Amino acid sequence: MDILNIVTLLTVLAATFGYLNARFLKLPDTIGLMVIAIVFSTVTIMVGSIFPDILQFEKELVAQIDFKEVLLDGFLSILLFAGALHTDLDSLKAMRGPIMMFATLGVLVSTFLVGGMMFAGFQLLGLEVPFIHCLLFGALISPTDPIAVLGVLKKAGVSKILEIKIVGESLFNDGIGVVIFLTIFSIAHLGSGEINSTGIALLFFEEVGGGILLGFGLGYLAYGLMKSIDNYQIEVLITLAIVLGGYWLANYLHFSGPLAMVVAGLVIGHERFRSGGMSEITEAYVDKFWELLDLLFNAILFVLIGLELIIISFDGQYLLAGVLAIPVVLLARYMALFFPIRLFKKRLGLAPQTGIIMTWGGLRGGISIALALSLTSTMSRELLITVCYVVVVFSIVVQGLTVERLAKKYRSL
């Protein structure tokens, strides 16, 4: 099946599942699409025992889609830019201290906490998993997914201050998380003797620092180009070129593409740049264009997550390990956020329940699954994919559906 047919089929499925959700389930879009896709895959597996051709068709479809490439090298740039474009940069500035600490120290601490606890948990279940592979799982599951978080928090009714904390952290920590994951991946793949601490530090600062600087450069370039003309069609095209071309350039320079897109989106979406570089009609068209792309790619992404069920191992021990990983990941996140929250508690007036709601509201999503699918067969791949999938489904469905209730309980945040 060629790429056009695959895109066509995924778009039709996304539209169909989206209609069923809007008409009957009425769940938040991201949750509803994924739930229906999982049900669809489950039914396909059941029907496949009677009509094997149907199951084989879906397996072939999923096998032809490189989820890692689709998300990390395709959708992610568009989704992160769209999310950042509509995020208030001034509010993020006020919270920049805790947000950056959550996104850096928080992800790093969570990686080692999850890795250590899962190493013990795997041993308890009789699964021999090397510690470095447990760290890989910790790195891929620790970043909260801005795509999932944005999709759920829009309808969750959390306070604006709390939303800025969670969304701001999510926008930045996936870029940091990918860098940490790739570093540990290299150590696991090449052997710890191949990479020294200096090399790790240089890789980290090159990816992170380069991504942030490139994002600012792209944002100012777009501003300059859009300010010099008054043609909303070309200006919309400029924003798209900045995203696609900028992400490609970041990868070529070995900078963090996700961080570059977040910063570029924040710069272009800032009120001062909007008023100085866009006419009212351009601003309206830019917003509507990116809202539409955000909706389309979000829909396809969460349908894909649901369809990935077809490749998950149903080994009892693997599934049990996934269930065990749920409280481990939540506990690790709470512990990783504890120190930064205490540090900024008085200065920013953070409420006592901040840690609880940020832990529960920090959803995992497609980024974690994409990273898990990038593991090699020598890295406990099948086990870690299953465990990751169980955590992601619980996070999006259970946490996503209950975060609104938790937000109402702690409305004073």
**Among 6-15, 35-44, 173-182, where is mean pLDDT lowest?**
173-182
Question: Residue 191 has what pLDDT?
Answer: 63
* DSSP per-residue string spanning 356-387: HHHHHH----HHHHHHHHTS-TTTTHHHHHHH
Question: Residue 332 has what pLDDT?
Answer: 97
Report the alpha-carbon distance of residue 193 to residue 197 in Å, rounded: 10
**Among 148-157, 293-302, 388-397, where is mean pLDDT lowest?**
148-157
Is pLDDT at 311 greater than 80 in this prediction? Answer: yes
Is pLDDT at 41 greater than 50 in this prediction? Answer: yes
Assigned token pair, 144: 């909260």
Average pLDDT over every residue of 355-363: 89
Q: What is the DSSP letter of 73?
A: I
Report the alpha-carbon distance of residue 233 to residue 286 in Å, rounded: 9
Is pLDDT at 412 greater than 60 in this prediction? Answer: no
Question: Residue 379 has what pLDDT?
Answer: 92
Report the alpha-carbon distance of residue 37 to residue 307 in Å, rounded: 6
Q: What is the DSSP letter of 311?
A: G
Report the alpha-carbon distance of residue 58 to residue 64 in Å, rounded: 10
Is pLDDT at 302 greater than 80 in this prediction? Answer: yes
**Residue 315 — very low, low, confident or very high, per pLDDT cuts 50/70/90?**
very high
**pTM (global) more than 0.85:** yes
**Residue 196 — very low, low, confident or very high, per pLDDT cuts 50/70/90?**
low
Report the alpha-carbon distance of residue 407 to residue 402 in Å, rounded: 9
Average pLDDT over every residue of 100-117: 93
Question: Residue 183 has what pLDDT?
Answer: 84
Is pLDDT at 326 greater than 90 in this prediction? Answer: yes
Question: Residue 90 has what pLDDT?
Answer: 81
- Measured CA distances, 207 to 30, 180, 215, 246 (Å): 30, 10, 12, 14
Is pLDDT at 110 greater than 80 in this prediction? Answer: yes
Q: Rounded to 5 degrees, what angle do the CA atoms 282, 287, 289 make?
A: 95
Report the alpha-carbon distance of residue 368 to residue 209 in Å, rounded: 23
Question: Residue 67 has what pLDDT?
Answer: 86
* DSSP per-residue string spanning 127-163: ----HHHHHHHHHHHSS--HHHHHHHHHHH---HHHH
Report the alpha-carbon distance of residue 162 to residue 361 in Å, rounded: 10
Question: Residue 349 has what pLDDT?
Answer: 67
**Residue 73 — very low, low, confident or very high, per pLDDT cuts 50/70/90?**
confident
Is pLDDT at 255 greater than 50 in this prediction? Answer: yes
Average pLDDT over every residue of 125-151: 89
- Higher pLDDT: 38 or 205? It is 38
Question: Residue 249 has what pLDDT?
Answer: 96
Which residue has 């369809």 as its token pair? 307
Q: In this predicted model, what pLDDT tens digit does every residue of 197-245 receive, in sequence order?
A: 666 677 778 888 999 999 999 999 999 999 999 999 999 999 999 999 9
Domains in the chain: ranges and CATH: 3-64 (no CATH), 67-409 (1.20.1530.20)
- Measured CA distances, 5 to 2, 19, 68, 92, 163 (Å): 6, 21, 19, 41, 38
Is pLDDT at 136 greater than 90 in this prediction? Answer: yes
Is pLDDT at 193 greater than 50 in this prediction? Answer: no
Average pLDDT over every residue of 353-380: 90
Average pLDDT over every residue of 330-341: 93
Q: In this predicted model, what pLDDT tens digit does every residue of 389-410 receive, in sequence order?
A: 999 999 999 998 888 788 777 7
Average pLDDT over every residue of 330-358: 85
- In this structure, which amino acid lies at residue 130? P
- Higher pLDDT: 407 or 113? It is 113
Report the alpha-carbon distance of residue 18 to residue 30 in Å, rounded: 9
Question: Residue 95 has what pLDDT?
Answer: 81
Mean pLDDT is highest, among 1-5, 65-69, 382-386, for: 382-386
Radius of gyration of the chain (CA): 21
Spatial neighbors of 53 by CB under 8 A, at least 6 apart, are none
